[in-house]
Amino acid sequence: MKNNRKIYLVRHCEPDLPKKSSICLGRKDLPLSNKGLKQAENLRNFLSKLNIEAVYSSPLVRALKTAEIISNGDIQCEIVDNFTELDVGKWDGMSFDEIKEKYPKEYEERGEKFDTYIIEEGESLSACKDRALKALSKVVNESKGNIAVISHAGVIRTILSDIMNISIKESFLYKLEYGSISILRYKSNIFDVEKIGLKTENFSSEEEGNNE
């Protein structure tokens, strides 16, 4: 096993969203949009240069399709349930305008207790973080070399917040666009955050060559 590894945390590519204001998307299972499919192809072309040994994916179709395109049948691709997006319960698929109108008190309370608040029928971000970290530790221990984890913004934020020792709310200072990559360096059983939320076109040729 290489002592100096990289874990590429990839937010799934753009899903086929309903044509309305920004929605609260959790486990509502949406396919990739046409733009998302093209983003996934760009990711495949980029990651193919980085010595990826294995790909792990959330089971939700927007993540799994991204992973399948990236792996291209050439790299082991495994579904990991605990990389599934945060369960936002009864808010799933609703626009934020609808949520503020129908559940103003709950929306305000969630803002005050961001990490621990549980939306009805859902889970807290703290619980999401616990399962995501366990899943990350498991796939790292069971694999060799560089790996890619295809997941969701909520899951990726919880992982980054833990490694950076910041609150999950503070992690929202960092932008994670569809198809973006955050890089963890794993050395001597310690994770370090190397880069956050980068799009493939923002990577330098130096990064492509630094794929130990």
Cα–Cα distances in angstroms (integers) from residue 9 to residues 18, 20, 66, 99, in the given order: 26, 28, 12, 29
Tens of pLDDT along 110-129?
Answer: 999 999 999 999 999 999 99
Contact (CB, 8 A) for 31 and 15: yes
What pLDDT shows up at residue 203?
A: 57
What pLDDT shows up at residue 202?
A: 62
What pLDDT shows up at residue 115?
A: 95
Structure tokens at 17: 């969203």
Going 154 to 155 to 161 to 162, the CA torsion angle's sign is positive
Residue 174: how many other CB atoms lie within 10 Å: 17
Instruction: Give pTM, 2 decimals.
Output: 0.92
Which residue positions in the chain have pLDDT lower than 50?
Answer: 1-2, 204-206, 209-212
Q: Which fold has domain 4-209?
A: Rossmann fold (3.40.50)
What pLDDT shows up at residue 76?
A: 87
Q: ∠ CA(66), CA(33), CA(196), 5° rounding?
A: 50
What pLDDT shows up at residue 20?
A: 64
Residue 39: how many other CB atoms lie within 10 Å: 23
What pLDDT shows up at residue 18?
A: 84
